[in-house]
Amino acid sequence: MAGSTFGNIFKITTWGESHGKGIGVVVDGCPAGLALCEDDIQIYLDRRKPGQSRYSTPRKEEDKVEILSGIFEGKTTGTPISMIVFNKSQRSGDYSEIARLYRPGHADLTYDMKYGFRDYRGGGRSSGRETIGRVAAGAIACKILDQLGIRILTYTRSIGSVAIDESRFDPSVIADNPLYMPDKQAAREAEAFLENCMKKQDSAGGVIECVVKNMKPGIGDPVFEKLSANLGKAILSIGAVKGFEIGDGMAAARATGHTNNDQYTKSADGDTIKLTNHSGGILGGISDGSNIILRAAVKPTPSIGTEQSTITKEGKSIQTSIKGRHDPVIVPRAVVVVESMVAITILDMMFAGINSNMDHLIRFYS
């Protein structure tokens, strides 16, 4: 199976299955001399681990990370950093009934079509636990970006039909509610919406929004290596994501040139600034120095207790309901996954941009 590596210079390779011995990642291209320890990684993993609220799977996993290589005396050595999280709460028997059928909304059928074989215990590589490796690597990328002054704010914009109100936007309350919404009232309404879904043994989707602040200009290339294109690939590679947009996104199709263009002016300091940010901080595939704003549409959890029609491997039509421990909504635990993939992508493209002109090279090597 190919396709488990992402990035060109800051490169990550995730490995492992949801019901195997463990899940992990190898990070290649991290500079030497970065102060790094397991606690730095654990902070991020704790944001995505299960069992933290009634709106996530009751599966109890510590998700404790172990760094196996690439660190000496508390700093990175410049060699590959290998990290592992051991699986300790597998209940593979929960999946024995689905070994011979294809779960609606899952990758069971396409795996069989492609490989003729699949790990039915929780989905294997298509399980949400694969994102552990992404988040562990993202923690490193975020720490490097932080030292460059770049900050990433990620949160839940909507759950089902309940969306945040910009007039009540308060980033200080994101961590105070189980849905990671920056709007207390919307969070309460979304919880009520989810309670109704759960009573019906159903699930919900939502939208995650990510804002990259203090972004440096000039990152990305204008053709196949656009920053926007690579961010799109990164976010759409997350299993539950079905849609992606930057800036006004799909709303730009309903705008006019005059309302969609970001007009320029001079600041009091003489800098060129934009009056608006409809482009979401990227023009021509290159960052313009304003905030990057992007969104990911996350589908409802496909594992639900409601009866659904499907077929067996032998082609027999049957009714099924999915048993086991599953999230009624994936969105809150995916917030940190989106943040991690954004950080990895931006850092990788910043490294690649060092050779974009002679002045950069001279400053770097002189």
Residue 54 pLDDT exceeds 80: no
Residue with tokens 């989810």: 194
Q: How confident is the model at residue 96 (pLDDT cuts 50, 70, 90)?
A: low
E strand segments, the chain: 5-6, 11-16, 22-28, 65-67, 71-72, 75-76, 81-86, 151-159, 162-163, 206-213, 241-246, 264-266, 272-274, 282-283, 286-287, 292-298, 308-311, 317-320
Provide the 3-class DSSP secondary structure of residue 284.
Answer: coil
Tens-place pLDDT, residues 160-187: 999 999 999 999 999 999 999 999 999 9
Q: Which domain holds residue 165?
A: 5-365
pTM of the model: 0.92
pLDDT at 317 (0 to 100): 93
Indicate which CATH number applies to the domain containing 238.
3.60.150.10
> Is 265 in contact with 273 (CB distance < 8 Å)?
yes
Instruction: Report the alpha-carbon distance of residue 328 to residue 152 in Å, rounded.
Output: 26
Q: How does pLDDT run across 299-308, given as a tens digit for each residue?
A: 999 888 888 8
Q: pLDDT exceeding 90 applies to what percent of the chain?
A: 71
Q: Is the pLDDT of residue 90 over 70?
A: no
Q: Which residue has the higher pLDDT, 328 or 231?
A: 231
Confidence of residue 51 (pLDDT cuts 50, 70, 90): low
Please count the structural domains in the chain.
1
User: Exposed, middle or buried, 165 (CB in 10 Å: 0-12/13-18/19+)?
Assistant: exposed
Helices (H), the chain: 38-48, 108-115, 131-147, 184-199, 227-236, 257-260, 331-352, 358-365
**Better pLDDT: 58 or 7:** 7
* Spatial CA neighbour of 349 closest among 210, 232, 207, 211: 232
| pLDDT tier, 59 (very low <50, low <70, confident <90, very high otherwise) | low
pLDDT at 2 over 70: yes
Residue with tokens 């490193």: 140
pLDDT of 58 over the 80 cut? no
Inform me whether the pLDDT recorded for 282 exceeds 60: yes
